[in-house]
Amino acid sequence: MSAFLTNVFAGLALGSTYALVALGFVVIYKSTGVINFAQGGLLALGAYLGYTFANNLALAFGVAILLACLAAAVVGASVERLVLRRMVGQPPFAVIMITIGLLFVLEPLITAIWGFDSLPIRNPWNIQTIEVGGLVLGVRDLWTIGLTAAVVVAFFLFFRYTAFGLAMRATAFDPEAALAQGISARRVYAVSWAIAAALATLAGITLAAGPAGLSPSISFIAFAAFPAMILGGLDSPAGAVLGGLVIGLAEALTRGYQDELFSWAGSNVSVIVPYLLMILILLIRPYGLLGTKDVRRV
């Protein structure tokens, strides 16, 4: 039983990371209609900036996280301003390919600056554990879950109660009507990219504080967050969180029971579980668990 609970806990921690990244996808998709394949690049960039702030500049870890999120937000907004702004009104193919192109530019840039080696990020969590009722819980995992929960709550409050949150929802709902009310769509687009980049950075740093350290392959986590977004529904923030947790749990449980239940499927089958789940959900409910079914008109 305790082995099962340990797996569930690991799954929730992983799922929180997915949820943060998926939330970033949804924010950008809702306000600009773009699926951002470059999210993984922004995530890695943010995490490496966090490394620079925490290790090279020797700032306190909390300050380093905040600064990295801010810096990544600036990068995200600039990318939107410099590249994506030109693509407004282009077909989805062109826009998707632009973001993929950006990902493939960002990744080598990161390896050119920080190298390929795995870097240990200086953090107060390390591999400390605490024991609760016979269960050994990692401090980092607890922080990941706690931070994600706090961010998600703040996120929903922002959208529900602030004027700018309302402006973003209005733009997502109907850009032209929002423009007519005097809302600056440009600012909404830039801010949504900034928010997504900051969320990705938070996910990246919490992940990099783990035992694996920080390496360029960290950007792959964003690919696994696609299934989370699809599972929840492309346009549903709540769905992104739910999808992230479900995908994280499924992956951790498959990994935990690899030898007993899944040895027939080959080693490391847990890596592709998110994609298999995604294909399944797309066949049953293409618009996701909480997404809205889109109506197409000729």
Q: Which is nearer to other proteins, 182 or 296 (CB)?
A: 296
122 CB neighbour count, 10 Å cutoff: 18
User: Quick one: which of 47, 43, 216, 207 has its CA closest to 118?
Assistant: 216
Smallest distance, other proteins to C-beta of residue 104, A: 3
Query: Least distance (Å) from other proteins to the CB of residue 234?
Result: 7
Q: In the bound complex, what is the minimum distance in angstroms from residue 291's beta carbon to other proteins? A: 11
**3-state SS string over 176-209?**
HHHHHCCCCHHHHHHHHHHHHHHHHHHHHHHHHC
Q: How far is the CB of 210 from other proteins (least distance, A)?
A: 21
Beta strands in the chain (DSSP E): 129-132, 135-138
For other proteins, give the closer residue by CB, 69 or 229. 229
Nearer to other proteins, 211 or 266 (CB): 266
Q: If we measure between CA atoms, which residue out of 270, 273, 245, 237 comes closest to residue 11?
A: 245
- What would the 3-class secondary structure string for 36-71 be? CCCHHHHHHHHHHHHHHHHHHCCCCHHHHHHHHHHH
Least gap, CB of 122 to other proteins (angstroms)? 24
Name the residue nearer to other proteins (CB basis): 58 or 82: 82
CB of 282 to other proteins, least distance (A): 6
Cβ neighbors of 229 (< 8 A, separation 6 or more) are 22, 25, 26, 29, 239, 240, 243, 288
Residue 113 or 136 with smaller CB distance to other proteins: 113
210/140 Cα distance (integer angstroms): 7
**Minimum CB distance to other proteins smaller for 60 or for 105:** 105
Residue 157 φ/ψ, nearest 5 degrees? -65, -40
Q: Which residues bind other proteins (CB under 8 A)?
A: 29, 35, 37, 83, 86-87, 90-94, 96-98, 100-109, 111-113, 116, 223, 226-227, 230, 234, 265-269, 271-272, 275-276, 278-279, 282-283, 286, 296, 298
